[in-house]
Amino acid sequence: MAKQPWKTDNWFVSQWNYADEVRKDFKFAKQIKIHDITLRDGEQQTGIILTKDDKIRIAEALAEAGVHRIEAGMPIVSPSDAEAIKAIAKRNLGPQIFAFSRCMKEDVQRAIDTGVNGVVMEIPSSQHMVDLAYKWPMEKAIETSIEATKFAQKNGLEVVFFPIDFSRSEMNWVLNLINRVATEGHMDALALVDTFGVVSPHAMRYFVREVKKRINKRLEAHFHQDFGMGVANTIMAAAEGVEVLHTTVLGVGERAGNTPMEETVMALLTMYGVDVGLDYSKLTPLANLVQKLTGVDVPSNKPVVGRQLYQIESGIIASWYKNCGEENATELFPVRSGFVGQPPAEVVMGKGSGIDSVKAWLEHMGIEASDEEATKMTAGVKSFSLKSKRLLTESEFRKIAEDVIGQRAAA
């Protein structure tokens, strides 16, 4: 590990993250893999519709970014979904390709037909879900799961158990159920599933440790964002040795979404010194592609990939930026813009701008002005932005400059 892993050319975070007292109980796996679920769970977000070509484009971009596994969809949903999964699997993009299926032999056969490497198989894991959502007798659910997992393994698929609503079950009851299906059926890995995002970060350590007492298989983390805990919970799970992290680009997904990939991998890299091996410069282009193809609204200040993260409006920050320069950009931003594929930082003009912002724009435009004139322009900028409730364009700023100093500002 670097002598100062909290401060590199590309990021500057708190050195407290690396204190021995903080790190002494960490159990991070030597290799943590990202299992992307944008094409399956992500598409379950209301209103997202991805065509076959859309899914192929996203899968190719995920592969370029270095994602280890791609959950390409659920073949049983429609012939179009099955064709997309098949097309992605045929391309041999590099990542392992998984399908998602219910605990039914027919679903598994559809997955086999697409040529995927593995299957993430949902099994019921709470009495109330079996009774109320499935409306099955419990024994039928168990027998169906055993048959389907054995069938998947027999046909060469890697099998990941996906216990729906795992986190709202009684621990011993659900682990007994999982052990029975694993023993009588087949399981290569177990996903710790927080279907409704209801586990607190403080409870996550308990969750992982209790499962590890009973299950000696690779563990995977699949968490939702209903209370905004997905990233924290995923990192807590990884610190307990969970090896595979299920994430989506931009955190798209059902209800409040899934754990966002970009936030998770950057937090692991900068705050924990855990490099999952992605090309981090692809994070923003990947996010932009997913935003374009899904049409989702992305907050302009979204961590890592928000379009306005590296725009500086505040007058005092513009002054800092002027003094620090791009070479010391991590004094103002925790991560250098280019490292995550963002454009360079820029000073923008709006209600929060100060005289240093105005002077920076004047210099950029080749306009000379006295301090008194620049002060008048600053007042004009604030007034314009307040009335229009937006940032100014260069032409709008030039007009304000012209009004103050006359035609010297023209052209």
In whole angstroms, give the CA distance from residue 261 to residue 254: 15
Of 262, 294, 326, the last residue of a domain is 294
Residues 117 and 181 in one domain: yes
> Is 306 a member of any domain?
no
Retrieve residue 163's tokens: 């216990």
> Is 5 a member of any domain?
no
Of 294, 329, 360, the last residue of a domain is 294
Q: Work out how many domains the chain is built from and give that number.
A: 2
Strand boundaries in 62-117, DSSP class E: 69-71, 96-101
Query: What is the predicted pLDDT for the residue at 407?
Result: 54
Residues 398 and 285 in one domain: no
In whole angstroms, give the CA distance from residue 323 to residue 23: 35
Q: What is the mean pLDDT of each run of 10 residues along the chain (411 residues)?
A: 86 97 97 98 94 97 98 92 96 97 92 96 75 68 89 96 91 90 93 96 97 96 97 98 98 97 98 98 98 96 96 89 86 95 94 92 91 93 95 94 74 46
> Is 20 a member of any domain?
yes
Q: How many helices (H) and strands (E) does the chain have?
A: 15, 10
In whole angstroms, give the CA distance from residue 246 to residue 37: 6
Query: What is the predicted pLDDT for the residue at 325?
Result: 83
Query: What is the predicted pLDDT for the residue at 134?
Result: 63
Cβ–Cβ under 8 Å, residues 312 and 40: no
Query: What is the predicted pLDDT for the residue at 408?
Result: 55
Residue 135 has phi, psi (to 5 degrees) of 55, 45
In whole angstroms, give the CA distance from residue 64 to residue 286: 9
Residues 230 and 378 in one domain: no
Retrieve residue 339's tokens: 């490292």
> Is 299 a member of any domain?
no
Residue 5 has phi, psi (to 5 degrees) of -65, -15
Query: What is the predicted pLDDT for the residue at 410?
Result: 52
Residues 284 and 328 in one domain: no
Query: What is the predicted pLDDT for the residue at 411?
Result: 46
Residues 289 and 398 in one domain: no
Retrieve residue 311's tokens: 């725009």
> Is 383 a member of any domain?
yes
Residues 193 and 48 in one domain: yes
Residues 315 and 280 in one domain: no
> How much is the pTM?
0.92
Residues 335 and 234 in one domain: no
Query: What is the predicted pLDDT for the residue at 339?
Result: 97
Query: What is the predicted pLDDT for the residue at 138?
Result: 73
Residues 283 and 319 in one domain: no
Query: What is the predicted pLDDT for the residue at 133?
Result: 60
Q: Which amino acid is at 90?
A: K
Range of the domain at 181: 15-294
Query: What is the predicted pLDDT for the residue at 277?
Result: 97
